[in-house]
Amino acid sequence: MKNKERIAILTGGGDCPGINAVIRAVGKKAIIEKGMEIIGIEDGYHGLVNNRYRKLIYEDLSGILTLGGTILGTSKIANPYRYAVKKRGKLEFQDLSKKAIENIKKLGVACLVCIGGDGTLWIAHSLYKDGVPIVGVPKTIDNDLRGTDVTFGFDSAVRIATEGIDRLHTTAQSHHRVMIVEVMGHHAGWIALHSGIAGGGDIILIPEIPYDIRCIVEKVKERNKKGKRFSIVVVAEGAKPKGGDIVIQRIVKESSDPIRLGGIGFVLGEQIEKMTGIQARTVVLGHLQRGGSPTAFDRVLATSLGTKAVDMIVNKKFGYMVGVDGRKLVEVSLEKVAKGARTVPLNHPLIRSARSVGTYFGD
3-state secondary structure (DSSP) of residue 218: helix
Q: Which is nearer to ligand F6P, 72 or 280 (CB)?
A: 72
Region of 292 on the Ramachandran plot (φ > 0 left; ψ -120 to 50 alpha; else beta): left
* Part in contact with ligand F6P (CB under 6 A); list of ranges 134-142, 163-171, 212-220, 306-314: 134-142
Closest contact distance (angstroms) between CB of 249 and ligand F6P is 8
Question: How far is it, in rounded angstroms, from Cα 333 to Cα 342?
Answer: 15
DSSP per-residue letters across 157-173: HHHHHHHHHHHHHHHHH
* Part in contact with ligand F6P (CB under 6 A); list of ranges 104-112, 179-187, 297-305, 331-339: 179-187
* Part in contact with ligand F6P (CB under 6 A); list of ranges 48-56, 183-191, 305-313, 340-348: 183-191
Nearest-10 crossing angle of helices 213-225, 264-276: 50
- Residue 320's beta-bridge partner residues? 135, 333
| Geometric angle at alpha carbon 166, from 205 and 168, rounded to 5° | 75
What does the per-residue mask of binding to ligand F6P show for 251-280, with x meaning CB under 6 A? ---------xx-------------------
Asked if 142 touches ligand F6P (CB under 6 A), the answer is yes
Out of 20, 140, 143, 295, name the contact with ligand F6P by CB under 6 A: 140
Please compute, for residue 250, the number of CA atoms within 13 A of its CA located in the half-sphere on the CB side.
Answer: 4
| Geometric angle at alpha carbon 287, from 285 and 292, rounded to 5° | 105
Q: Pick the catalytic residue: 142, 155, 202, 298?
A: 142
From the list 332, 311, 302, the residue with the least C-alpha distance to 29 is 311
| 3-state class percentages of the chain: helix first, strand second, coil last, to nearest 5 | 40, 20, 40
Q: Which is nearer to ligand F6P, 7 or 204 (CB)?
A: 204
Asked if 117 touches ligand F6P (CB under 6 A), the answer is yes
Q: Which is nearer to ligand F6P, 237 or 331 (CB)?
A: 237
Out of 7, 10, 14, 172, name the contact with ligand F6P by CB under 6 A: 14
Q: By CB under 6 A, how many residues form the interface with ligand F6P?
A: 13
Q: Which residues of the shown chain bind ligand F6P in the complex (CB under 6 A)? A: 14, 76, 117, 140-142, 184-186, 237, 260-261, 290
Which residues are known to be catalytic? 142
